[in-house]
Amino acid sequence: MLFAVFLPALLAIFIPYLSKWKEKIHTGYFVLLAPLAVFIYFVSFVGGDFEPVTQNYNWIPSLNIGFDFYLDGLSLLFALLISGIGSLVAFYSIFYLHKTERLDQFYVYLLLFMTAMFGVVLSDNVFVLYSFWELTSISSFLLIGYWNYKERSRYGALKSMLITVFGGLSMLGGFILLTMITETTSIQEMIAQADVILSHEYFGLIMALILLGAFTKSAQFPFHIWLPDAMEAPTPVSAYLHSATMVKAGIFLVARFTPILSQSEWFFVFVSGIGILTLVWGSYMAVRQTDLKGILAFSTISQLGMIMAMLGFGTSAAIFGAVFHILNHATFKGSLFMVAGIVDHESGTRDIRKLGGLATLMPISATLAFFGTFSMAGVPLPFLNGFYSKEMFFDASIELESSSLMIAELLRTAIPYLAVFGSIFTFVYSMYLVFGTFMGKKKLEQLPKKPHEAPIGMLVPPIILVLGVIIIGILPETFNGNLLAHAAEAIYGAPVDKHIQFWHGWITPLYMSLAVVVIGAILAFVRKSWSGIYSFFPGKLSFNKAYDFIVDQLEKTSARITNSYMNGSLRRYMVLILSAILIVTFTFIGLTGGFAWDTSNLAEITVHEVVIALAMAIAAIATIFTNNKIGAILILGVVGYGLALLFVVYRAPDLALTQLVVETITVALFLLCFYHLPNLRVRTDSVFEKTTNIIISIGFGALMTVVAISAHSTKLFDTISSYFVENSYKLGGGDNVVNVTLVDIRGIDTLFEIVVLGIAALAIYGMIKLRHKKGAK
Amino acid sequence: MSEFASFLPDLISVITVICMVVVTISITILLYRVVKGPTNPDRAVALDAIGINLMAMAGLVAILLTSTQLNDVILLIGILLFIGTIALAKYLEKGVIIDRNRD
């Protein structure tokens, strides 16, 4: 199974070499092999007596992370979808993408995406699942932005990246919490501990985080906005990622964690509530679109909402319906995207207002579209699979379990009506899609190209998918026993026995379906007369505007915040740094009671020490108030000499020597550069600035004094200097303890001080000698 | 005589301390000139004088500590003071310390 997952990624390594021959043989033919092989491999598992398969491969054993693959019915269904539709899409793209395109990049991204999706659906380890999850986000980002010279492509790619990665990260948070609570990284072991998780205080947070990940990935309300913009991708990508596979990753996630999460009553409220809202909103908005792929994008959103709602219902029938609809949606939506791509390819536009009457020119595509859309609309015909799952949806929506939560009860009453409402609009846009494109007047003069039927290679994949629609429609029981029942069982946790049949008798769901068809047909027929409501609702209230506003405001606000303190003034930065030190240190001293006052260790004070210290203090204060730059340096010289004198008085001849030399050289250096410096400016600080300066400088001085006093009063142990004094001659061979310390005991320090001086010298030399003219490199 | 001999070390230290106090007072008064000093040459001369006082101070401390370690310091102060004062004087006179383009 490891090989099956990584086969596409392995092949991706060779794609750049293979694409060198793209003039002779289209690179897509090589690519086709990988999903086809994986598909055949997974088909071998299908059967009535299927049992879950577990395979473990080590990755990071110390962190309990490994490629633990777990193939149950749910994973198998998804793996078959990914590999099967992957093969068809690869085949379709051979005819869709011209050889002049950058085929190598396209197929590398596509194969990476396949590996990522296989990883997502097969991983049992949450962290591996998350890794693959992010890989799908990244490869999808690359695929959406495939035509990166288009501004809209880049916008769509960035938008989908931001939203899905936002969700992915929150999902990671949920996973980490789950791992902490259960002390395992395996999903199956977590499911075994579901009651522990359920009773844990973090359960609400876990559910919110994981659902956030699922909702963003599956384009649920209000995170659906990235999907319509992702339609800038090449059509094979839209067909594959944005109808059949990636957007179902969120569905998969919810389904996978249903055994844990669905035990909470809120699961129904969130998942079904958001799902039904997405269904209604998506189908409502789809009618408004004029772009074929735009309609399909909102249609996908609404269908995903329907699946999500069914997962939230949590009854055995609903889960079976959800699983069934996952399969159905992948077939008909894949074929519809491919037909939209064919129309675009052959007529040069996807704008439904310019299209019309193509049925006679493109009879095969038109037929395919008829099947796809009628299945999507849920028209009650015995050979359309969409009808069955829609019927199951209605069936499940009226048989909801009652709940103690009031909001859940409210939702329970509203859901059947909302379901019918959403389905009516689904019917409307489906009819609009197919009749607007293929029926009506021909408008050939508006089309950039003269439309004609697509090449046979381009038609094969949608034909296969439509055949899938019909076969599932005619023989649903074949799929039920071998595939769907296992998947539903994996979600529900107990065997589900649900027989799919066309005729149930005169029961409520059938009336609901008939109502949808009748009202939908009427609404579709008089669509022009009521489409004006879209200017009132949503009108300006679009979530795209909200997204743009948020992104724009984030950039502006962060720029404003950054500019507010990063104003380039050194004074401002010093104020910030010093106040931070002041506040932190004083608070810390105050909180911990760190101040200490101990006079037992103090030495006698002599008169001359006091006088020297006073002289230095006066000189230091005088420096601040002088306006003459040479005067300032000379007064500062007093401080330097005073310090040297203190060193003498405190018996530190080496320090005194060094201090004197350095002081003199500093004064000389100042004199050297004074010639080039401007005169001391008369300071024109405002009162506020002056006050801050004074407060901070006095505060900082006080702080240092307090710290010094406390440090001196807190002697926790003896100094080690007695060792130096005793051993400087014995071990170092010198009387001068300071010098022995500098070159023997702590020679390394001295070495690097010398290095510092060397670097400084070189830097000064470089600064003076290597003067570049402005603007020159 | 013996009394005087025993009194001598004490006397020396007392006198030394008195001298130190006097020198520090002298430094303080010089400080007034450095801070106040109406012109920069005033300040330069005052700083030079402070340096001389430093030499005296170092010598006195050496006596007080009965140590020869500070003799280097005294010599060094002398040299540095000279250099510093020359540099200052040259700067005040010409505005530069190191001449370029002598010809």
Residue of A nearest to B78 (CA): A660
Average pLDDT, chain A: 85
Q: How far is A685 from chain B (nearest CA, A)?
A: 24
B10-53 pLDDT, tens digit per residue, is 888 888 888 988 888 898 888 888 888 788 888 888 888 988 98
Q: Report the DSSP beta bridge partners of residue A186.
A: A125
Query: Residue A661: its pLDDT value, please?
Result: 87
pLDDT at A723 over 90: no
pLDDT at B102 over 70: no
Query: Residue A768: its pLDDT value, please?
Result: 80
Establish whether the linkage from the previous residue to A538 is cis, with ω within 30° of 0. Answer: yes
Q: Which residues contact A352 (CB under 8 A, 6 or more apart)?
A: A289, A290, A291, A292, A295, A432, A433, A436, A437
What is the model's pTM?
Answer: 0.80
Q: How far apart are CA A582 and CA A563, in angstroms?
A: 24
CB pair distance less than 8 Å for A641 and B88: no
Q: Residue B81 belongs to what H/E stretch?
A: helix B71-94
Give me the sign of the Cα torsion angle A101, A107, A109, A110.
Answer: positive
Query: Residue A516: its pLDDT value, please?
Result: 86
pLDDT at A777 over 60: no
Query: Residue A640: its pLDDT value, please?
Result: 86
Share of chain A above pLDDT 90, in %: 20
CB contact at 8 A, A714 and A596: yes
Report yes or no on B101 lying in a domain.
no
Report yes or no on B77 lying in a domain.
yes
Nearest Cα neighbor of A268 from A319, A333, A200, A231 is: A319
Query: Residue A774: its pLDDT value, please?
Result: 58
Query: Residue A474: its pLDDT value, please?
Result: 83
Q: How far is A643 from chain B (nearest CA, A)?
A: 11
Q: How far apart are CA A628 and CA B40, in angstroms?
A: 9
Q: Which among A625, A630, A647, A654 is the top mutation candidate for probing chain B, defined by the most B β-carbons within 10 Å of its own β-carbon?
A: A630
Is A418 at the interface with chain B, CB within 8 A? Answer: no
Report yes or no on B75 lying in a domain.
yes
A318-353 pLDDT, tens digit per residue, is 888 888 899 889 888 989 999 888 888 888 888 888
- First-to-final CA distance of chain A: 56
CB contact at 8 A, A184 and A176: no
Q: How far is B101 from chain A (nearest CA, A)?
A: 16
- With contacts defined as CB-CB under 8 Å, which chain B residues touch A667? 84, 87-88
Query: Residue A117: its pLDDT value, please?
Result: 92
Range among A85-94, A410-419, A430-439 with highest mean pLDDT value: A85-94
Report yes or no on B22 lying in a domain.
yes
Q: Long-range contacts: A397-406, Cβ < 8 Å, 24+?
A: A397/A309, A397/A313, A398/A508, A398/A509, A399/A315, A399/A317, A400/A313, A400/A315, A401/A314, A401/A315, A403/A265, A403/A268, A404/A265, A405/A265, A405/A266, A405/A269
Q: How far apart are CA A731 and CA A729, in angstroms?
A: 6
Residue of B nearest to A667 (CA): B84
Query: Residue A168: its pLDDT value, please?
Result: 93
Query: Residue A502: its pLDDT value, please?
Result: 60
Query: Residue A437: its pLDDT value, please?
Result: 82
Alpha helices in A19-150 (DSSP H): 28-43, 73-96, 103-122, 126-144
Is A641 at the interface with chain B, CB within 8 A? Answer: yes
Report yes or no on B99 lying in a domain.
no
Residue B79: band (very low, low, confident or very high) from pLDDT cuts 50, 70, 90: confident
Report yes or no on B100 lying in a domain.
no
Query: Residue A678: its pLDDT value, please?
Result: 67
Q: Residue A466 belongs to what H/E stretch?
A: helix A456-474
Question: Which residue has better confidence, A11 or A21?
Answer: A11
Residue of A nearest to B68 (CA): A653
Q: Which among B91, B99, B100 is the top mutation candidate for probing chain A, defined by the most A β-carbons within 10 Å of its own β-carbon?
A: B91
CB pair distance less than 8 Å for A671 and B31: no
A32-77 pLDDT, tens digit per residue, is 888 899 999 988 888 777 788 888 888 888 888 888 899 888 899 9
User: Considering only A339-353, A385-399, A510-524, A667-681, which range has the smallest mean pLDDT?
Assistant: A667-681
Report yes or no on B103 lying in a domain.
no
Give me the sign of the Cα torsion angle A440, A444, A445, A449.
Answer: positive
CB contact at 8 A, A66 and A57: yes
pLDDT at A755 over 90: yes
Reported as half-sphere exposure (CB side, CA atoms, 13 A), residue B85 has a value of: 17
The residue range of the domain holding B22 is 2-94
pLDDT at A162 over 80: yes
* Chain pair A-B, CB pairs under 8 angstroms: 112
Token pair in block for residue A81: 């979808």
Report yes or no on B30 lying in a domain.
yes
A642-658 pLDDT, tens digit per residue, is 888 888 888 888 888 88
Q: How far apart are CA A300 and CA A286, in angstroms?
A: 9
3-state secondary structure of A18: helix
Query: Considering its fold, how many domains does chain B have in total?
Result: 1
Query: Residue A171: its pLDDT value, please?
Result: 93
Query: Residue A529: its pLDDT value, please?
Result: 77
CB contact at 8 A, A753 and A743: no
Is A737 at the interface with chain B, CB within 8 A? Answer: no
Query: Residue A689: its pLDDT value, please?
Result: 80
Q: How far is A647 from chain B (nearest CA, A)?
A: 10
Token pair in block for residue A471: 């076969």
A544-557 pLDDT, tens digit per residue, is 888 888 889 999 99
3-state helix, strand, coil in chain B (%, to 5): 80, 0, 20
A350-366 pLDDT, tens digit per residue, is 888 888 778 788 888 88
A526-541 pLDDT, tens digit per residue, is 877 777 777 777 766 6
CB pair distance less than 8 Å for B44 and A645: no
CB pair distance less than 8 Å for B40 and A645: no
Instruction: Look up the ipTM and state it.
Output: 0.80
Residue of B nearest to A662 (CA): B80
DSSP letter (8 states) at residue A190 = H
Average pLDDT of the residues in A682-707: 83
**How many whole angstroms from its chain centre is CA A579?**
37
Q: How far apart are CA A551 and CA B66, in angstroms?
A: 78
pLDDT at A706 over 50: yes
pLDDT at A278 over 80: yes
